[in-house]
Amino acid sequence: MRPREFDHDDVLRIAFDQFWRKGVRGTSLSDIARDAGVQRGSLYNAFGSKEALFLQAYERYAGDYLLALQKVLGAGSLRKRLTAFFDLTITNFRTGSPPRGCPTTRGLMELGAAEGEGLDEEARQAFANLISRITALVQDALSAGAARGEFGGNPAAAALHIITVTRGLAVLERAFGDEPQLRKIAAHTIDLVLDKQGR
Amino acid sequence: MRPREFDHDDVLRIAFDQFWRKGVRGTSLSDIARDAGVQRGSLYNAFGSKEALFLQAYERYAGDYLLALQKVLGAGSLRKRLTAFFDLTITNFRTGSPPRGCPTTRGLMELGAAEGEGLDEEARQAFANLISRITALVQDALSAGAARGEFGGNPAAAALHIITVTRGLAVLERAFGDEPQLRKIAAHTIDLVLDKQGR
DNA sequence: AGAGTATTTGACACGACGTCAAGAAAATGC
DNA sequence: GCATTTTCTTGACGTCGTGTCAAATACTCT
């Protein structure tokens, strides 16, 4: 056995950074190879394909991100939790310059509509999976809030609504790049859901 | 002067159909040329570049789409208008098999985060422009509704919120392809905005 | 030390984008 | 009616990206 000459995790991080900034289709394996100081062929040998490499890098990101969300969604009043949740969400795709956007949303929209086109079904499931798990976290927070009388609606419906808004924010971020506006929408959403419309 | 051997508008329609289904990056000019029965070089001669061709095709689509929206947002009670608006929105990216998704959202997420990457600034403005104009239409409907006592909130904030939800729906459509779920979210959003939370 | 095995490396085939020069076809002027 | 001109068309080219393969390489285990 000959040992790898590069660190698996280093490559994963470097690759995801590129994918995040430029999208999967917009990132070439040559770019990653150059950045990581690895030969292009070695990447194919180690990961099989660009999509497989992306998937591994994405899973890594998804795990980290879920942990961070779990943290902010688990402490404080419901309003505080939701505020922190939106905050982390917006911060997540507003970091970097230019801002990197939301990798999940970008990945989803990069999917080919037809079969075989672009990213494959496995990637779609990875994206859907992260969204589902985030939805579950939000729903848990809402249910906990309901138990404490901080919320009187349907946790499942409200969680879905909140998630939809975060996905929409990811899109508007791309369109306008106007962070204050995103935060306003987030605040408004919290008001709507908590039924204090601030009028 | 030698006349064109193909119809400008035909090509635009054929091209946009492909862009819509497979994204800009996922569509090759060879595909379009084959589909349209035109030589690839002729497309370059007539449009200049893939992005320019996309932009023209997109503007065409945007105009049609705006007209349709204007129609449904201008008649009936506010609730009816919003329902028809969400209906048209969801129908728009659920048509075709497999569903084609939302071209605006896809286009936005295909944009390169950095300069020079992928679609250029002009495309971003075209996307942002359509979103802005749709927002304005929704806001008009809300204002009209407010004048008739059908709505008591802030039209600008509510319109922005609604638009955000539609962008989120476009993303969730990609993730889950679950049309009934999308419609539920839409209905819930209308309830929230009109302040009848259906509890 | 030697054999085995996985990794690295460079070359290859293929397709896509965009450019360019040469050929083709119609409108205009004489 | 014919030549000219102007535009469109056509095919070839260079570059870059993806993915494959066989040969060379370097480590490990016996």
Per residue in B64-115, pLDDT tens? 999 999 999 999 999 999 999 999 999 999 999 899 999 999 999 998 765 5
Confidence (pLDDT) at A199: 44
Residue B146: Cβ-neighbour burial (10 angstroms; 0-12, 13-18, 19+): middle
Confidence of residue B198 (pLDDT cuts 50, 70, 90): very low
Confidence (pLDDT) at B73: 97
Q: Which nucleotides of D are covered by protein (CB under 7 A)?
A: 6-12, 16-22, 25-29
Structure tokens at A169: 């924010």
* Å between CA of B41 and C1' of C17: 11
Confidence (pLDDT) at A117: 58
Confidence (pLDDT) at A5: 80
Per residue in A49-88, pLDDT tens? 999 999 999 999 999 999 999 999 999 999 999 999 999 9
Considering only CB atoms, A110 lies closest to which of B23, B96, B197, namely: B23
Structure tokens at B22: 């497979």
Confidence (pLDDT) at B199: 44
Confidence (pLDDT) at A118: 59
Residue entry with tokens 């979103």: B131
Please state the domain extents for chain A.
58-194
Q: Find the residue in A nearest to B22 (Cα).
A: A112
Per residue in B139-185, pLDDT tens? 999 999 999 999 999 999 999 999 999 999 999 999 999 999 999 99
Per residue in B10-36, pLDDT tens? 999 999 999 999 999 999 999 999 999
Per residue in A5-34, pLDDT tens? 899 999 999 999 999 999 999 999 999 999
Confidence (pLDDT) at A115: 54
Q: Give yes or no for A199 touching B (CB within 8 A).
A: yes
Considering only CB atoms, A22 lies closest to which of B112, B166, B181, namely: B112
Q: Does domain A58-194 have CATH number 1.10.8.60?
A: no
Q: Which residues of B touch A119 (CB under 8 A)?
A: none
The Cα B111–Cα B28 span in angstroms is 17
Q: Give yes or no for B170 touching A (CB within 8 A).
A: yes
Could you write out the three-class secondary structure of chain B?
CCCCCCCHHHHHHHHHHHHHHHCCCCCCHHHHHHHHCCCHHHHHHHHCCHHHHHHHHHHHHHHHHHHHHHHHCCCCCHHHHHHHHHHHHHHHHHCCCCCCCCHHHHHHHHCCCCCCCCCCHHHHHHHHHHHHHHHHHHHHHHHHHHHCCCCCCCHHHHHHHHHHHHHHHHHHHHHHCCHHHHHHHHHHHHHHHHCCCCC
Q: Which residues touch strand D (CB under 7 A)?
A: A 1-3, 27-31, 40-41, 44, 48-51; B 1-6, 38-42, 45-46
Structure ipTM: 0.92
Q: For B50-194, CATH number?
A: 1.10.357.10
The Cα B119–Cα B101 span in angstroms is 19
Scan residues 29-88 of B and list those with Cβ closer than 8 Å to A.
none
Between A115 and B87, the higher pLDDT residue: B87
